[in-house]
Structure 1
Amino acid sequence: MSKIEQNKEKKRLAILKAAKEIFLAEGYVQTSMDRVASEAKMTKQTLYRYFSSKDVLFEATLRQMGSQTDDKLVVHLQHADTRQALLGFAKDFVLFHLSSEHIATFKLLIAEGSKSPELVSRFMDVGPDDTDRVLAQFFNERFDIEEPQTKIKLWLGMVMSVRDGVLMGMPAPTEQEIAAHVEASTDLLLAALA
C-alpha cells in the first residue's frame, strides 16, 4: 500500500471512528456531517469525498462494526464436535451482542426506528452477512436440513433472550451465566433435531 493509500485509509478510519462515537452518543437524527468532520479533525468537504451522505456514512459505520466479529464466530463452526461447535459459536455470538457498542446501536435503532424506518432496514441489510450463509451451510451438513433458516432463528432467539434485560438497563449476565444459558438453549435444539 502506497503512502497516499495509507493516508486515505487513515482518514477513512478516523471518519468511521468519529461517526460511530457520535451516532451512538447522539443518535442518527441528531448527528450532523459537520459534527463528524469536526470530530474527525477534517473539513466537511474532505468528509464528503469519502462518504457522499449521512446515510452512506451510517451504513459504512454499521458494516465496520459488524465486520469485527464475523471471522471469530465462524471459526467455531469448524470444530469436529457439533455440540462444541454450536456452543462456541453461540457464546461468542451472545458476547458480541452484549457489548456496550452493540447495545448502544440496538437502542439507537429502537429509539429512532419509528422516526427513520430506513435505519432499521439498513441495519438488517448490513447485519446478516456471511455468518448467516456459513451457519446455514453448517446446519445443512451436520443435520442434513435443507431449509435450516427457521431452526437457526429459533435457536438464536433462545440464545439471544439474555439480551432483553440488558436492553432495559439490567446488568449483563456473567460469562458463566451466559455459558449456562447457551448450553441449555443448544441442548434443547439438539434434542429437537435428534
Structure 2
Amino acid sequence: MNKVEQNKQKKKDIILATAKSVFLNEGYVAANMDNIAKKSQITKQTIYRYFPSKLALFTATLHSLSEDFDQSFTEHLQHPDAEHALLGFAKAFVALHLSEQHIDTCRLLIAEGRSAPEIIATFHEVGEDDMDSQLITFFQQRLGIEQPQTTIKLWTGMLLSLRMGVLLGMASPNDKEVEQHAITATTFLLNGLKHS
C-alpha cells in the first residue's frame, strides 16, 4: 500500500470510528454528515467522496462493527466431538451477543427501526450469512438433520434469551452464568434431538 492509499485508508478509518460513535450515542435519525465531519475533522465533501449517503456510511459502520466482533466462535464447530463443538460455539456466541457494542447496536435498531426502517434492512444484509451456512452444514453433516433451519433458530433463540434482560437495562450476566446458560440450552437441544 503506497502513501496515498495509506492516507485514504487512514481518513476512512477516522470517518468510520467517528460515525460509529455518533450513530451509537446519538442515534441514526439524529446523526448528520455535518456533525460527523466536524467531529472527525474531515470535510463533509471528503466524507461524501467515500460514502455517498448517510445510509451508505451506516452500512459501512455496520460492516466495521462486524469486523470488530470476534467471529471466531464458528471455529468451535470444527471440534471432532459434536457436543463439545456445540458447547464451545454456544458460549462464544452468547458472549459476543452480550458485548457492549452489540447491545448498543441492538438498542439503536429497536429505538429507531420504525422511523428509519432502512437501517433494519441494512442490518440484515450485513448479517451473519456465513455463520448461518456453517451451522446448517454442521447440523446436516454432524447431527443428521436434513432441514435444520427451524432447529437452529430455536437453539440460537434460547441462547439469545439472556440478551433481553441486558437490553432492558439489567446487569449483564457473568462468565459463569453465560457458561451455564449455554450448557443448559445445548443440553436441551441435544436431548430433544434424541427423542425426535
TM, length-normalised to structure 2:
0.95
Distance 1:94 1:39 in 2: 33
Q: Counterpart amino acid of 1:138?
A: F
Q: What's the counterpart of residue 67 of structure 1?
A: 67
Q: Distance in 2 between matches of 1:81 and 1:46?
A: 52
**1:51 counterpart letter in structure 2:** F
Q: Unmatched 5+ residue regions in structure 1?
A: none
Conserved 8 A contact 1:70-1:131: no
Take 2:5 and 2:135, find their aligned partners in 1: how far apart are those partners?
A: 35
Residue 10 of structure 1 and its aligned partner are, at CA, apart by: 1.3
Query: Which residue does the alignment assign to 2:165?
Result: 165
Aligned match of 1:127: 127
* Aligned residue number for residue 94 of structure 1: 94
1:132-188 CA distance string (max 9 Å, x none): 111111111111222211111100000110011101100000110000000000011
Residue type at the aligned position of 1:60? A
* 1:17 and 2:22 matched: no
Aligned partner of 2:106 in structure 1 is 106
Q: Which stretch has the larger CA shift, 62-71 or 78-87? A: 62-71
3-state SS in 1 of match to 2:6: helix
Query: Which position in structure 2 is the counterpart of 1:148?
Result: 148
CA 1:127/1:12 → structure 2, altered by over 3 Å: closer, same or farther? Answer: same
CA distance in 2, matches of 1:90, 1:41: 41
CA–CA separation in structure 2 for the residues paired with 1:102 and 1:143? 30
Please say if residues 19 and 36 of structure 2, whose CA atoms lie closer than 8 Å, have aligned partners that are also in contact: yes
Q: Which residue of 1 aligns with 2:43?
A: 43
- CA deviations 1:65-98 (Å, max 9, x no partner) are 1133364121111111111111111111111111
> What aligned pairs does 1:167-182 form with structure 2 within 5 A after superposition?
167-182=167-182
Distance 1:132 1:89 in 2: 12
Could you tell me which amino acid in structure 2 is paired with residue 112 of structure 1? Answer: E
Question: Identity across aligned pairs (percent)?
Answer: 52
Instruction: Tell me if the contact between 2:70 and 2:96 (Cα under 8 Å) persists in the aligned partners.
Output: no
Q: 1:106 to 1:177 in 2, by over 3 A?
A: same
Equivalent-residue separation in structure 2 for 1:3 and 1:78 (angstroms): 40
Q: Flag structure 2 segments of 5+ consecutive residues without an equivalent.
A: none
Preserved contact between residue 74 and residue 134 of structure 1 (Cα < 8 Å): yes
Contact 2:158 2:185 in 1 (8 A): yes
Calculate the TM-score normalised by the size of structure 1: 0.96
Distance in 1, matches of 2:36 and 2:90, equals 35
